[in-house]
A and B are shown apart, each in its own frame.
Chain A
Amino acid sequence: MERNPMRRQLASLRKSLFDQGYLDEQFMELEQLQDDANPNFVEEVVTLYYRDSARLILNLDHALERRPLDFSKLDGLMHQFKGSSSSIGAKKVKAESTLFREYCKYGNAEGCMRTFQQLKKEYATLRKKLETYFQLARQIGPMESANRPK
């Protein structure tokens, strides 16, 4: 069937996301929550994440423009961001968040800025990859998605 190669492609795409460290086990947990009653759960959550975290990113951007930097505020924002990111299993993004918070703790402005740039990169990269992934998944069809390898 023509779905097979697609399914294989999907599977390998998924695997690479894990192997390359973009996603962690939490993502698998989300997949487990997806079932017939909730066929698009993972995608919904990811979509929600990108929508909500965009706001946080924006706030962080603004906060980083201020001088002097308000580290506690930055830390607070990043804490929220980290919580969300970890909920979807965004591994690299989460790692950058942690690093960012460390810099905040030590009041390292440069470190914060640098890390934040890196974080945004990872954030964007993951988003693209996931979009591709979901697109493919949708093409395969709901049935397939439901049976997506866990």
Chain B
Amino acid sequence: MTMEEKLGGSNGEDGGRDRFPIGMRVLAVDDDPICLKVLENLLRKCQYHVTTTNQAITALKMLRENRNRYDLVISDVNMPDMDGFKLLELVGLEMDLPVIMLSAHSDTKLVMKGITHGACDYLLKPVRIEELKNIWQHVVRKKKPDSKDQINASNQDKSRGGTGETGPTSSSSDQKVSKKRKDQSEDEDEEGDDNGHEDPSTQKKPRVVWSVELHRKFVSAVNQLGLEKAVPKKILDLMNVDGLTRENVASHLQKYRLYLKRLSSVATQQANMVAALGSKDPSYLRMGSLDGFGDFRTLTGPGRISSASLSSYQPGGLFGRLNSSAALSLRGISSGVIQSGHSQTLNNPINGFGKIQPAVVPANQNQNGTLFQGIPTSINQLSQNKPTNHFGEFNRGNDPNAFGVATNFQDARVTVGGSSNTLPVSSGNPLLLQSNTQQTQHSGGAFGNQPSSLGVTSLNQEPFDMNVRGSSNFLDHGRCSENWQSAVQLSSFPSNALSASETFSHEQLPSNNLQESISWTSSHLSSSPLDLSSSMANPANLEDSRGNISQVGLNNNVIQNIDYTTKQQWGDSRHDYNGNMNNSFSRGDSLVPASGPMMDQSNVISDKMNDVSLFSQFSGDSTYVVPHLDGEKSAFDTKSRSNDDFLFETKPQNGFNQNSFEPSENIMMSMIKSDQNNETPLMDGEFGFDAYSLGSCI
């Protein structure tokens, strides 16, 4: 009942700002008129400047009109027109405003969900004025993106007594969110990565809009440094963007990490799938990082993805197989990928999947956790290990995307398998497929963030971008997608995957080219691979893809599936990414996403997939992942290229790697998927590749 009231208040924004926290501008959203009225008065009592609305949609509109008009948003969780969490993500992604959740429910899961979606705090109704007196701190925290920000997410939650545990993200929410994101498909309004915003509030630094481009740079910088080692200062230096402060980067990084984490938690679930794959190697996930995000390496590390998750899939299964040939290949790829995180690693795998094999294998073990091995683990790892695993993250949503990512994806991407953390795509790339699967579920939302998984180590950056969108809102698929277009799609993840793929592809090949190519910016993705990522990102999608990929089970099936999915995805989504991608990606993604590079290739992969039978192909053929690396690449390239080359636009060649990866990833994914089969949706669309694909290869 409460109508929107714009408090024109005497506190004018300026006046308020100067006497911060007095005059802090709060937007209160609650469908219950009584609560809203009470809340409004409580806030006024705290001397804040209050605006109220009883509809989430209206709130969003108001925020979009001028995001600088508000400092803080307080929103109820249960609302009829839009889920509070979705709104939370959107706000975080689009406007980067602190959001406080309100609910009469003190359910732990909900609180966790709120946190994982990026809420600064979680208050229980009825709200007391004492609690509201301190909410201004969240605004301050947000404004200071440096170290404060990093702990912001965690601290805020912790510090606020009200907030619940900062437990792992609930994949369910992620999925839901991701799905939502997909629906949202809002255009990224962020543009201009500079701090162009006027000072919305006192002490606030101009908000930086993390455009796709910017995010891409960010992700690539992170990849270069390695997720674990990525520090804002270095990232900033690498990015070399005017007007960007370390604080901006720090806060963005934090979100990214959160996103990856979210993905990994998704991946964890998926990890089981991955585990099935047998890839214990977290490295797989790493692999995803193709680009060697570096951080993604974490993926590579077996530890990364929580091998458990991966292992859960089938430790011996797919991965085991993967290890053999495909695995190796993938692993190689992944290792290659993962290891360096950057494409470098990937390059190996990708280029010569065959080559990688040997290398991969070892690499996998260590870093990549052996593509396949790692895949499951990586996937887990990806998701878990590294938030940076963007790649892994990629996996997150999307099925063990790790696969898709040709393991290189960076396990992180691979998170597909595991919770978004990009399944270490075990190998970085394709493995991402694996993780993706896991992630997929998760990714749905997370995917957006996942970008990294795709092994796109380089992509990661991009993916992250996507993630960034909603780091907390990774799920905001829609959001991500938008920006990246296809890649963005990943926002949920898939896109990431794809983006990653692209990046991977590129990266893998050129090792950094991918980044460019992949740069999420969906530009590449648009081609299709990205779609995968996007798809991947969209858990929802993934699910679809996964479904497909599951079959892949490494064998041609996977490829088939993947192919199917990818094809679909790419075919349609290619350009469509945003919408399709996610979906398509899911399918194809599984395969593709994981492999970031593959992703691009996704299209290619799809095609390839058929042939590739993922792994089998990997080993020898380009089965996306592996094979492609070298020879395949061309195959992929061609394919992907044909598709649109989106991903590889820049680098057909590079993309190739991706391609290779993708297949492998797909394989992995399929593997993972196969293993998981019942695994979460990730398998579906996420990468579709699900570890299974990979496994099949083996």
Contacts and interface: CB of A to CB of B under 8 A. Distances in A.
B161 interface: no
A33 B45 CA distance: 7
Nearest to B80: A80
Contacts of A87: 32, 34-35, 38, 125-126
Interface string A15-49: 00000000000100110110000100100110011
Contact of B42 (A33, A48, A76, A80): A33
A107 interface: no
A86 B42 contact: no
B42 A29 contact: yes
Given A29-B128, A32-B129, A86-B126, A49 B34 contact: yes
**Max count, chain A CB within 10 A of own CB: residue among B33, B125, B126:** B126
Contacts of B38: 30, 33, 45, 87-88
Interface residues of A, number: 23
Interface string B26-68: 0000001111011001100100000000000000000000000
A22 to B, nearest CB: 16
A149 interface: no
Nearest to B40: A33
Contacts of A33: 38, 41-42, 45, 129
Interface in A67-82: 76, 79-80, 82
A84 interface: yes
A81 to B, nearest CB: 9
Contacts of B78: 76, 79-80
A86 B125 contact: yes
Contacts of A76: 78
Contacts of A89: 126
A38 B1 contact: no
A26 B104 contact: no
Contacts of A44: 37
B105 interface: yes
A45 B34 contact: yes
B45 A83 contact: no
Nearest to B30: A83
Nearest to A86: B126
**Max count, chain B CB within 10 A of own CB: residue among A49, A80, A83:** A83
A52 interface: yes
A89 B128 CA distance: 11
Contacts of B41: 33, 38, 41
Nearest to B103: A83
B1 to A, nearest CB: 6
A101 B114 CA distance: 22
Contacts of A83: 32, 35, 104, 125
A52 B34 contact: yes
Nearest to A89: B126
A48 B35 contact: no
Contacts of B37: 44-45, 48
A134 to B, nearest CB: 16
A41 B34 CA distance: 12
Contacts of B128: 26, 29
Interface of B: 1, 32-35, 37-38, 41-42, 45, 78, 104-105, 125-126, 128-129
Instruction: Sort A-B residue pairs by CB-CB distance and give the 6 closest, nearest first.
Output: A83-B104, A33-B41, A84-B34, A26-B126, A86-B126, A87-B35
Given A33-B42, A76-B78, A88-B38, 16 more contacts: A26-B126, A29-B42, A30-B38, A32-B45, A33-B38, A33-B129, A38-B41, A41-B41, A45-B34, A48-B1, A48-B37, A52-B33, A82-B104, A83-B35, A87-B34, A87-B126
Interface of A: 26, 29-30, 32-33, 38, 41, 44-45, 48-49, 52-53, 76, 79-80, 82-84, 86-89
